[in-house]
Structure 1
Amino acid sequence: MERKGYRPLVYICSALSGDEEGNAEKARKYSRFAVDSGAIPLAPHLLLPQFMDEGEERELAMFMDLVFLGKCEEVWVFGSEVRLSEGMRAEIGKAERRDMKIRYFTEGLKEETGCR
């Protein structure tokens, strides 16, 4: 039974490296999708680049990502399994070790069930 006004905090797991501008735009779209789906999105890969240097502080940023992940109830993974970045794999691995609920979605926002 869900509480009235309740929205779960969900970790948005999607690629940033490569086409950073395009991937950041996708992460914003995924975050909006989470809001529209009744959740509160947390997308550290949109926040941390605002004040951290990915090249210089990658290890610290990844540490912070995993701390944020631990505060969430669910992890929502977006994109193709073949295109999972190293960071995404680390996030998914941490969520699996914590027995967190993990949901997978295509880039087109369709949930994939029973495929992982």
Structure 2
Amino acid sequence: MSNFFEQELRKLFADGSVIHDPVFVGRACLGGLDRNRQVRAEFVTLGHADHYAALRLTLLDNDQGVLDKLTLRFKDVWGKQKIPNNPYLRDGVDPHIWVDGNRIDWYAYHPTQEDYRQLRQMASDYVETFRIQVPAKDHGPKLVYICAPLRGEVEKNIEFARQKAQEVFQAGDIPVCPHLMFPPIADPGDPAQDLAAREMGLRLVEKCQQVNVYGPVTEGMWAEIHRANKLDIPVVTDSQPKGRTTPRRKKSAKREEVK
């Protein structure tokens, strides 16, 4: 049984472009979506035993479990198919795989190469909607996130961040500096506004091609560094690229001041 399903899944996903590094097990294909997330594709029945009438795609996260599911019904993708010279199927047939004892095959209608291409494209469109896109490398200016302390001497820290942003600008890249964006409109002393500004800062990190870390690393900065690491965004400290290596936490009983 598994050999037939595997054969059909390989026609869709064997090259690894839709599902990365695919592994075929029984009726399912398992592989990568992006960092920490996977995709499972499998043939499923829809209320009629032994009639596999759809392809189901399930997105999985290492921490959160199932993120989303999509069921692609063959009749929705290909429509009802006419079967010439078959008096018993004059109205056509809804495409499905039929398991009849030890015999497994498409029932009456066998998909064409164009059918497989169409199903594959729909699966790809769905998967790509969720896949985190890694910014393409080019020779133009990078979006560089300025990761620096804020709490404590706020005015002094804002000026420090401004100077670092200016250095990035003078180097030809585009500084993204939350210290110059949020303090004028979000009060750091207001818990709700401060939390909203932090979350917005993390969203900005996701859009950047590099994160520059300046000054002593605070808890708020650790959150930004962690988000960059999760997305494989290079983190730079002391003007030296560290790739996915983050600054080492100081061993101290006293907790650092929150950013």
Corresponding residue of 2:81? none
Q: 2:186 and 2:149 mapped to 1: Cα distance?
A: 17
Matched residue type, 1:72: C
1:101 aligns with 2:234: yes
Structure with bigger helix share is 1
Corresponding residue of 1:44? 178
Q: 2:174 and 2:219 mapped to 1: Cα distance?
A: 25
- The worse-fitting range, judged by mean Cα deviation, of 31-40 and 50-59 is 50-59
* Higher RCO structure (Cα 8 Å, ≥6 apart): 1
Q: 2:200 and 2:226 mapped to 1: Cα distance?
A: 15
Q: 2:227 and 2:209 mapped to 1: Cα distance?
A: 13
The sequence identity of aligned pairs, in percent, is: 35
Q: Which structure 2 residues correspond to residues 5-20 of structure 1 after superposition, within 5 A?
A: 6-20=140-154
1:58 aligns with 2:191: no
Q: Deviations over 1:52-91 (max 9, x none)?
A: 1112212111110001111111101112xxx211110110
Structure with bigger strand share is 2
Q: Say if 2:235 and 2:241, in contact at 8 Å, map to a contact too.
A: no
Structure 1 length-normalised TM: 0.83
Corresponding residue of 1:29? 163
Q: Which structure 2 residues correspond to residues 68-79 of structure 1 after superposition, within 5 A?
A: 68-79=204-215
Q: Deviations over 1:16-38 (max 9, x none)?
A: 11111111111011001001111
Point out where structure 1 has 5 or more consecutive residues left out of the alignment: 106-110
Point out where structure 2 has 5 or more consecutive residues left out of the alignment: 1-136, 248-259
Structure 1 outlier segments of 4+, above 3 Å: 112-116
Structure 1 or 2, whichever has the larger Rg, is 2
Q: 1:44 and 1:112 mapped to 2: Cα distance?
A: 22
Compared with structure 1, are the counterparts of its residues 10 and 113 closer, same or farther at alpha carbon in structure 2 (3 Å cutoff)? closer
